[in-house]
Structure 1
Amino acid sequence: MYCRLPLFAHSVGRSLHIMSVRPILRLSWNRCRQYCQFSSPEDSKWLTLPPVSMTTVVNGNQLTSSTSTTALKWVIRCCPQLPKTLIHKLFRLKQVRMLPSLLLSQQQEEEEEEDNHHNHKFKRVTPKDTLNSGDRIFLPHSVKQITPPESLAPKHDSPLTLTAKQINFIRTLVIYKDPHILVLNKPPGMPVQGGINIKRSLDAVAAECLNYHYSEPPRLVHRLDRDCSGILVMGRTKTTTTLLHSIFRDKTSRASDDIGTKNRILQRRYWALVLGCPRRSGGLVTAPLGKVVVDNGKSDRITIVDNSTSLSPQHAITEYRVIGSSSHGYTWLELSPLTGRKHQLRVHCAEVLGTPIVGDYKYGWQAHKKWGQFDLSNLEESTEEHLKEEALPFGLNLNKGSISDKHPRLHLHCKQIVLPNISQALENVQSLSASTYDLSVVEALELEADLPPFMKRSWDVTNS
């Protein structure tokens, strides 16, 4: 007898990418049962958690609990050493799978093996999905770098230790602070949130050195791409964080109804340097986005999709205007995302406007090759060299990467954010929720962040 095991995930760089479920190996059933446990990286792409059990042991007696458990609770229970931020991220990126419990006997399994594996396919689960006894949860194999295969016992992570130089550097990023929110000018190259092989993310570092005597650490309310720079807003209290979350979610859900209005309670403006020039000096891009798997499942990318396809596209709306153009063939754009889709600005610039952002090799590789002004032959080696030349803490070097260099970095910067003054709003009401209080009557808070040094150099070159 043989069984088929699906390939689940593949790690590329510092990101996890879901691969299409497909059979790749045929093993004997006896080996298969052993295979589905913690196995070596060469053997499996799955990390299988113990089957869901509703029994607990009290004074040596097994007691069956009638209380069901959710997928999130089971993962946290089985993997207490995994950071909760990482677990939530895996669910958010739909990288958690489940196989329902099989009620067939050993004999039935052997006789109906092929039908069994066709009928019981791995399915995606959400954090709130209820599990039955015997269900199995599968995580991307890459988390095995954090989860030791030989033990599921809780493991206490060592505290994040920062030098005085690192702490001072992070505090220089703060551009606004009041009792309720904290605003940073995020440097490019620093990840916002923790994950596989990411030891010092901005949220973890901020929790260590930006408390300012608060009992609670600052919390993320939105994200920026690793290579993107600019304004990052964080909530300083649980109440503030919940309110800001609702504001950012409301921006995405109601954007289609607010097209053309200038009275949105949340406005974000990015500056980007692009290759070429759009046909029009300004306008609105309303192209839906969807994720597709490429390179035989080794990676994925966001692309423009047709509403008639089965890729579950999400509407994405971007407002743009030309700030200025140069004789060198570059154009500076101001981009205002009315929705918050992944890589929205990068895809809209590259695939709709036909002007990919400088340094965006994921969506503008061919355009950079045709441009001819950049040497892209050893791009990965050049990136590693930049990291070795540590001019700032955390391996950051913000001076290299302008269009004067052989390998320009991503020229995308969150320049300005306009949002309600949360401190003023909380002073006006005792108990505040976005659904019962009109935040549009609150005084607007306008925040602005300077360009990183390499983008300033590109600005000087294109305007000379």
Structure 2
Amino acid sequence: MAVLSQLRRALLRPPSVTYGGARNLTSPYHYFHTENKSTAFVKAEDENNGKTRAKWLTLPPFNTTINGASLGKNIAGRRQSTGEEDANTTTAIKWVMRCCPQLPRSLVQKLFRLRQVRRKPSESSKSVGDVDAPECQVKRVSAKDSMRYGDTIYLPITVQALPTEKTECLCTEEELKFLHDLELYKDSAVIVINKPTGMPVQGGIGIKRSLDELAGTYLRHELSEAPRLVHRLDRDSSGILVLGRTQLSATILHSVFREKTVGASNIDLKSEKRFLQRKYWALVIGSPRRPQGLISVPLGKVVMDDGRSERITVVDNVSTTASQHAITEYRVLDSSIHGLTWLELSPLTGRKHQLRVHCAEVLGTPIVGDYKYGWQAHKKWNRAQIFSSNLEPKVEVCNKTSLPFGLKLESGSVIDKQPNLHLHCKKMVLPDVSSAIKLARAHISSSGYDFTDIKSLKFDAPLPTHMQRSWDILCS
């Protein structure tokens, strides 16, 4: 707090340092691009005494960039062009955040609010004098002002006083190997992980280490940027999880996933070509009335009686209750004589707990291990007929096995006292974002390019141990 307080006071009174009658604009931080187009600042030593010689931190001139959201829409077939017009819609605050990812967004917003950010148009780029001088055409810029090619942004040099280093979560060699073994695929744009059951995707209260944090520290590989989440999986579910390796690829993937949900009601279900496909496998208690079908109902959030917990439920009256439409395709994979059914679930929208609620409340077949939405079904479920004497020794051995990060992945099948959630993202078809970015860069100054025919990447994640054991038991 003391550092932030001093920084705020310093921002209101930027230091004035002159050399030879003119203030120097040379920043002690030199900007450079790495091969993957990520950004960084490297501190340079002063040849004389190592002191800061500039009042302003100079960001690189704005150049024509790819509009990730627009490109994502184009890949999804929602737009017909992504040309220079789309690329030049970057605002001043977006450019600052892209060049200075280490700065908190709240601080950047404060700089704009206090009118501490300046911009020099490209026409005056030859001048290197005082940015306060009127002849330099340097003016204050607002956060939402659009950037033009060649514009240069200046920030107060005092932003360098903000501590940016974070304490890294240390991993053992065993944990690091386990983390890298989760990778199913990696290219210049994405990393695809087979998330294990029980590992949280994001941090929160009571969560010491999450996949988001671990990936940001240990899955950067040769890039300087940290991978970013583009969608979510519940803590107790498993399967394919996609991360964008750069800010651009993450923005494109966010747009692709968002367009998938927005356009779900208009999708041609008989079409073989879908830009994004996800297929989950789930083991449910009971059996649906029909072997396959389409679930299309609105879902809403309700707060429980304790006022602290919440759950998702089907909304009967959308006119009186806030809701979001959720659509899921399903088909039966296999049925068991023990009253259990394997389903393949294909969500066409991305709503919270969508598959779990659709199975429990619409199909009437809650997922095994889902005690939030299927508690009553688990109480009535008779599992005695599943047990056999030759399986009991295996259960005892499995329960004693643990893996890195405190995970217990060798237990939790249908023969255990408390089965884990049997919901796994088994397959995914994803647009080849890396190829799309290359094409976009090649056509950025042209009239546009049709990305709807971009090739697809297909992934298949093996079942987690507890679901594989349940499959072997029930399908043998």
Normalising by structure 2, what TM-score?
Answer: 0.61
Tell me the residue number matched to 1:408. 419
Distance 1:179 1:332, change over 3 A: same
Larger Rg: 2
1:195 deviation in Å?
1.5
Within the candidate set 151, 168, 192, 1:183 is matched to 192
Tell me the residue number matched to 1:337. 347
Tell me the residue number matched to 1:442. 454
The structure, 1 or 2, with the larger RCO (C-alpha pairs under 8 Å, 6+ apart) is: 2
Amino acid at match of 2:472: D
Would you say the 8 A contact 1:388–1:395 is kept in 2?
A: no
Tell me the residue number matched to 2:281. 271
Tell me the residue number matched to 2:172. 163
Q: Distance in 1 between matches of 2:362 and 2:218?
A: 41
**Structure 2 spans left out of the alignment, 5+ residues:** 15-92, 94-102, 107-142, 144-161, 385-395
1:177 deviation in Å?
1.1
Indicate the RMSD between aligned Cα atoms, in angstroms: 3.3
Tell me the residue number matched to 1:462. 474
Within the candidate set 301, 324, 327, 1:314 is matched to 324
Would you say the 8 A contact 1:188–1:227 is kept in 2?
A: yes
Write out per-residue CA displacement over residues 297-354 of structure 1, whole angstroms, 9 at most, x where no aligned residue. Answer: 1311000002444221100000000001011111000000000000000000000000
1:389 deviation in Å?
5.3
Would you say the 8 A contact 1:373–1:406 is kept in 2?
A: no
Write out per-residue CA displacement over residues 88-115 of structure 1, whole angstroms, 9 at most, x where no aligned residue. Answer: xxxxxxxxxxxxxxxxxxxxxxxxxxxx
Whether 1:304 and 2:323 are equivalent positions in the alignment is no
Would you say the 8 A contact 2:285–2:368 is kept in 1?
A: yes
Q: Distance in 2 between matches of 1:257 and 1:218?
A: 32
Distance 1:242 1:261, change over 3 A: farther
Q: Distance in 2 between matches of 1:386 and 1:368?
A: 25
Q: Distance in 2 between matches of 1:426 and 1:58?
A: 42
Distance 1:265 1:432, change over 3 A: farther
Amino acid at match of 1:461: I
1:356 deviation in Å?
0.2
Would you say the 8 A contact 2:284–2:342 is kept in 1?
A: yes
Q: Distance in 1 between matches of 2:306 and 2:12?
A: 46
Whether 1:230 and 2:242 are equivalent positions in the alignment is no
Tell me the residue number matched to 1:394. 405
1:245 deviation in Å?
0.8
1:239 deviation in Å?
1.4
1:390 deviation in Å?
6.1
Amino acid at match of 1:211: R
Tell me the residue number matched to 2:66. none
Whether 1:295 and 2:305 are equivalent positions in the alignment is yes
**Structure 1 spans left out of the alignment, 5+ residues:** 1-49, 60-72, 74-82, 88-127, 129-152, 375-384
Within the candidate set 395, 420, 423, 2:434 is matched to 423
Write out per-residue CA displacement over residues 343-385 of structure 1, whole angstroms, 9 at most, x where no aligned residue. Answer: 00000000000000000000000000011328xxxxxxxxxx9
Whether 1:326 and 2:336 are equivalent positions in the alignment is yes
Would you say the 8 A contact 2:399–2:410 is kept in 1?
A: no
1:296 deviation in Å?
3.2
Q: Distance in 2 between matches of 1:164 and 1:403?
A: 32
1:431 deviation in Å?
6.6
Would you say the 8 A contact 2:280–2:423 is kept in 1?
A: yes
Tell me the residue number matched to 1:202. 211
Matched position secondary structure for 2:364: coil
Normalising by structure 1, what TM-score?
Answer: 0.63
Tell me the residue number matched to 1:239. 248
Write out per-residue CA displacement over residues 410-454 of structure 1, whole angstroms, 9 at most, x where no aligned residue. Answer: 000000000111222223231789x96544301111111000011
Identity of aligned residues (%): 56
Q: Distance in 2 between matches of 1:438 and 1:337?
A: 26
Within the candidate set 249, 262, 265, 1:256 is matched to 265
Amino acid at match of 1:335: L
Moved more, 177-186 or 305-314: 305-314
Matched position secondary structure for 1:191: coil
Would you say the 8 A contact 2:398–2:410 is kept in 1?
A: no
Tell me the residue number matched to 2:229. 220
Amino acid at match of 2:333: I
Q: Distance in 2 between matches of 1:176 and 1:216?
A: 18
Would you say the 8 A contact 1:350–1:356 is kept in 2?
A: yes
